[in-house]
Amino acid sequence: MKYLMFVTTDKDHTEADAAAAPDIEEWVAYVTGAGKHVIGDRLRPSADATTVRVRGGELLVTDGPFAEVSEWIAGFDVLECADLDEAIEIASKHPMAYTGRLELRPFWPLDG
């Protein structure tokens, strides 16, 4: 099973949580070593984002989005796991599990 893991910020955590968070290098070494990591990276903030739409046959390109949000997507990883429990285990060792929030979205293949 493939999962897209959104890495999002979350203000709701303590300094003790932040202190307990493992290093991201450790996590990357762990998932890569386990053969569970397909791809992943940080993402630039929404100030650097571009929104694309086609409406009425016209291409609309805009800066942003700039919704007032307190939580935003800071990165992503694609995990290849046997099942959800394995993905949860991997997510639970990510530093942002301590100071942010991880959302696991299963892939929905077009032929599935």
Partner 1 sequence: MTDARGAVADVVAAERLRIVAALIRVTGDFDLAEDCVQDAVERALERWPADGVPDNPGAWLTTTARRRAVDTLRRRQTERTKLQEAQALAELARDLTGDDPGPYGDDRLKLLFTCCHPALPMAGRVALTLKSVAGLSTRQIARAFLVSEATMGQRLLRTKNKIEHAGIGFRVPEPHRLAERTAAVLAVVYLIFTEGYAATEGEPFRDDLAAEAVQLAGLVVQLLPGDDEALGLHALLLLQHARRAARTDAGELVSLEDQDRGRWDRDRVDAGLAALAAARSTGRPPGYYRLQAEIAALHATAPDADATDWARIVIAYDALLALRPSPVIALNRAVAVAFRDGPAAGLALVDELGDELADYPPLPAVRADLLRRAGRRSEAAAAYRAAIAVARTDAERRLLERRLRDVTTQS
Rule CB under 8 A: choose which of 7, 31, 87, 91 binds partner 1.
Answer: 87
CB of 105 to partner 1, least distance (A): 9
CB of 104 to partner 1, least distance (A): 8
Contact indicator for 6, 102 with CB cutoff of 8 Å? yes
The Cα-based distances of 59 to 13, 47, 49, 52, 111 in angstroms read 41, 21, 16, 7, 30
Residue 1 contacts partner 1 per CB under 8 A: yes
Residue 89 contacts partner 1 per CB under 8 A: yes
Q: Given 3-state DSSP classes, what are the helix, strand and coil percentages for the chain, each rounded to the nearest 5?
A: 30, 35, 35
**Residues pairing with 77 in the sheet:** 5, 40
Per-residue x/- track, 44-83, partner 1 (CB under 8 A): -------------------------------------xxx
d(CA 26, CA 101): 18
Residue 88 contacts partner 1 per CB under 8 A: yes
Q: Would you tell me which residues interact with partner 1 (CB under 8 A)? A: 1, 3, 81-89, 104, 106, 108
